[in-house]
Amino acid sequence: MTDDSSTKVALITGGKGGLGSAIVPAFGSAGYRVVDCDAAHPDVARQFDVTDSAAVESAVSHILTDFGRIDVLVNLVGAWRPQDPISEITDEDWDGIFKINFRSVLVMSRAVLPHMIERGSGCIINVGAKQGERGAGGNGPYSVAKAGVLALTEVMAEETLDSGITVNAVVPSVIDTPGNRAGMPDADFDVWVPPAQIAATMVFLASNEAASISGDRIHVFNKS
């Protein structure tokens, strides 16, 4: 932490994940003070559960006290795992996938938005998925959760019109992360999207050049 209150601050959830490992340094290189958080990793700036409203409110309050501002919120926390058909899925499995993929975005955005509205500026970037645009069999809770993220993005963008805030969703195809490689070892990795390309897209969305872009879905797909 520095005392330079004029430098913009980017709060990035899931900072130690496969995508976060590219997003965090990209925003650092762009001149932001980066606050990365990840409940599963102690070696981050902040460690808290992004699905727990009380924990998030407390963490955001402390970040604002320490840094004075939050200019960018990047909601990276999410997870995919094999899912049973709707006819067989349990409440526990449904709730778990929905919580990490949708509730995390809702709770974090709700905590940060009042500060951005008061400042009259800010940027929220969410992560959607192809399954959120068209439901996929065997991906019931994940598809519904990501569809919710896309709808929430559009709702927040409309509710913050003319307030100096932008809210967008990056919608990638398969991302080339160690986790995805381990889960799909026989796939053609060459057609997957490198995390650095998504990082560059997010840094652009947070820039002044993208100030007129809000409520959009930015597709970052491979060419296959």
Q: What is the pLDDT of residue 76?
A: 95
Active site residues: 142
Phi, psi of 124 (to 5 degrees): -120, 130
Cβ-proximal residues to 90 (8 Å cutoff; 6+ apart), any chain: 84
Is it the case that residue 78 has pLDDT exceeding 50? Answer: yes
Q: 143-195: per-residue pLDDT in tens? A: 999 999 999 999 999 999 999 999 999 998 877 777 777 877 888 778 888 88
Residue 107 burial (CB < 10 Å; 0-12/13-18/19+)?
buried
Q: Left (φ > 0), alpha (ψ -120 to 50) or beta: where does 195 sit?
A: alpha
Say which amino acid occupies 102. Answer: F
Q: Mapping DSSP to helix (H, G, I), strand (E, B) and coil, where does residue 127 land?
A: strand
Burial class, 40, CB count within 10 angstroms (exposed 0-12 / middle 13-18 / buried 19+) = exposed
Mean pLDDT score across all residues of the chain: 90
Give the E-state strand segments of the chain in sequence order.
9-13, 33-37, 72-75, 122-127, 165-172, 217-220
122 - beta bridge partners?
A: 165
CATH of domain 9-220: 3.40.50.720
Q: Rounded to two decimals, what is the model's pTM?
A: 0.92
